[in-house]
Every structure is written in C-alpha cells, then in structure tokens.
Amino acid sequence: MAEEDSGQEKTEEPTGKRLDKAREEGQIPRSKELTTTALLMASALTLLLLGKSMSDQLQAMIKKNFSVSREDIFEYWTPVKYLGQSFQDAFWTVLPLFAVLFFAVSASTLMLGGFLFSTKAFAPKISRLDPIAGIKRMFSMKSLVELVKAIAKFLLVLSVALLILNGLKADIMSITNATLYAAMAKSVHIVLGLGLALAVTTILISVIDVPFQIYDHKKQLKMTMQQVKDELKDTEGKPEVKGKIRQLQREMAQSRMMGDVPDADVVITNPTHYSVALTYDPMKPGAPVVVAKGTDFIALKIREIATAHDVLMVEAPPLARAVYYTTEVRQEIPTELYNAVAQVLAYVYQLRRFKDRKGERPNALGDLDLPPDMIFDD
C-alpha cells in the first residue's frame, strides 16, 4: 500500500524500535477466532466433565427453595435468606466453569502477542472520530477480508451443525418417547456433544486466522526506506551532532595527551611538521610508549610544552614520521623501530648526563637504522 504522505511503498520489514513502539501503544497481533475456540473448547469439555455434578447441585438448590416449611413462609426474612443462600450456592456451583473460561481466555491471549497492559491503548484519539477515516476503514481491504472470514465461518459452522444434527436425527426423535428426566439428560448430552463438535470446527478457523493476523500485523508496521533512514538517524544521532561529539572527544583526547608531554623522555621532531613524544621506563617490561603526537599546529604545541618543561627534543624527520604513522597514542612502538628509538634514547641519556656534568658531550646523532617499509615521505 502506498504511503499517502510520501508516495513511497512500504517495502521494509519493521525494525525492533518500531515493533516496541507499536507494543507500547497496544498494537499487537490478536485473533478473536483463537479466543472463541478456546472459550468453546473449554466450556464444552468442562460441562462434559462437570456437567452432571453441576446439574445435581442446581437441582438440589431448586428443591431446597421449594421445600420451605410452613413456619418459615410467614417469616418476613425468609425470602432474603433463601435468595442469599441460592446466590451463594449458584456461585460455588458455576465457579469451576468460570475459572476454566478465565484460564482459557488468558492462555489464548498469551499464545498470540503475549501479556500486554498499555495505558496508551485507552487514551482517546480524535482521529477515531473522523467520519472520512471511518468510511475508509469500512470499505478497506481489511474490512473486506473480515467480511469474507465471517461468511466463511458461518457457512462452515452451519454445515457442520447440520451434518451432526442429521446424524443425530434418530436420537433427537427418541427424546419424545423418553421420560422427563431421561429426555432432559439426553438433550443436555446432545447439546454438549454438538457444542464440542462445533468447538473442534473452530480450530480450523483459528489455524487459518492466527497466521493471517501475524502477517497483517507485520504488514501494517512495514516501513518505507525513508522511515528506516529517519529512524536510523534518530537512533544514531544527526550528522552535525555526531560531528560535534567527535570534535569534543578529539579535544578531550588532545587535552589529556598534552598533559602527558611534560613526563616524556624525548620529543622527536620533523622538525616543523611532525612531533612525537616518547616515554620509556627501563625498570618495567615493554617498549617505549608514545604519549603524544601531532602535525602542524599540534606538533608546534607539543614542542612548546616540551620547551617549557625542559623535555629534550631531537630532530629525526624519518623516525618522527615513522612513529607518527605506525603508532597510536598510549601504544608501544612497533618492533621494527626498536633500534632507531634505542639510538635516540641512548643519545638523550648521554646528553642529559652531559648537562648534569656527569659525562662527556655525546657525538651528533647519526643516521638512524630504519627498515624500508618504515620510511614515509613528508
């Protein structure tokens, strides 16, 4: 069915969010035929099993009401007493039947759609008062299907009832020659048997109706491609909002990264475009770790912080680019860069000892040993 507002076909299966929303609004698959079948089967079976006992109790109640003593008849409270007792006896007599029927309705409801209590389903909707929409519903495909179902159900039940009654013609005619109690018992037996047979017939109707209700429910909840895209956008957030969140995350990450620069052992530079800050603790297992890295403005900021905190900087453009492109912040450098970084750290430690007047000035840092696949062009 085409969607009136957009003209798009509802070709997409309903998403989990749409199914949950429909359930919150009380829109779930239900089958009246399944409930009817459950009620008929439960009542017929219960009356077949407990019908005699219930009949005996009701007869006893009636006999008791017609066996009032002469003295009680002239008491003003006797009718109230007997009426109250009759209501109580009748209640306990039919209670098992009502309990079974309640269980049958509850079970049939749970079988299709499950338990649901939604206050939104009781909320008034102005759209339901729209006469044009009401006429459209009256002449919709769903109404036509319901009409066909009702006619088919009526014809099926009528055919089965006539077939059974035709088979019981002899038993029905024999009732005229039976005594009153025998005729009543036989009539009850015929009626209950006919009711059970008709209940079994409705099982066939339910077997057809239940899959149809599930299919129709999903069909009503189908979505257009645009609806799926809009829901995905609402779920994951609008692109501009997501972009702003990513920007804030980057800023927070950069702020944490800049806070680790003062604790770095060395900052390797390009010298202008790239800067990477490394830290290494020889007392702990593991390789040197990148605590900060960046290009252009961020690289300049790293160098400024390093200068302010007397962190040594070494110009090694190939190594700076290699570390920048192969290692993320808070990760250890790859094994292919161990030798080159070890050369830099050794130079830094010697230079630091020289500044502390504990050693000689180290020789200038020579060419570093970098594998060919670790050389990146600027």
What global pTM score does this model have? 0.46
Cβ(229)–Cβ(274) below 8 Å: no
Give the Cα separation of 168 and 189 in Å (integer). 11
The number of C-alpha atoms within 13 Å of 260 and in the hemisphere containing its C-beta is 19
Give the Cα separation of 347 and 362 in Å (integer). 7
pLDDT (tens place) for every residue of the chain, 378 residues total: 434 445 567 777 777 777 777 777 767 777 888 888 888 888 888 877 887 788 788 888 888 888 877 777 777 787 788 888 888 888 898 898 889 989 988 888 787 766 666 565 555 666 556 667 667 666 677 777 778 878 887 888 888 888 888 888 888 788 878 777 777 777 777 777 787 787 788 888 888 888 888 888 788 788 877 777 777 766 655 666 566 656 665 666 677 778 888 888 888 888 778 889 998 888 888 888 888 888 888 888 888 888 888 888 888 888 888 888 888 888 888 888 888 888 888 888 888 888 877 777 777 777 787 888 888 876
Look up residue 274 and give its DSSP letter: E
- DSSP conformation letters of 142-169: HHHHHHHHHHHHHHHHHHHHHHHHHHTH
Residue 257 neighbours by CB distance under 10 Å: 20
Q: Both tokens of residue 351? A: 């230079």
Looking at the chain, how many residues does it have?
378
Residue 160 neighbours by CB distance under 10 Å: 17
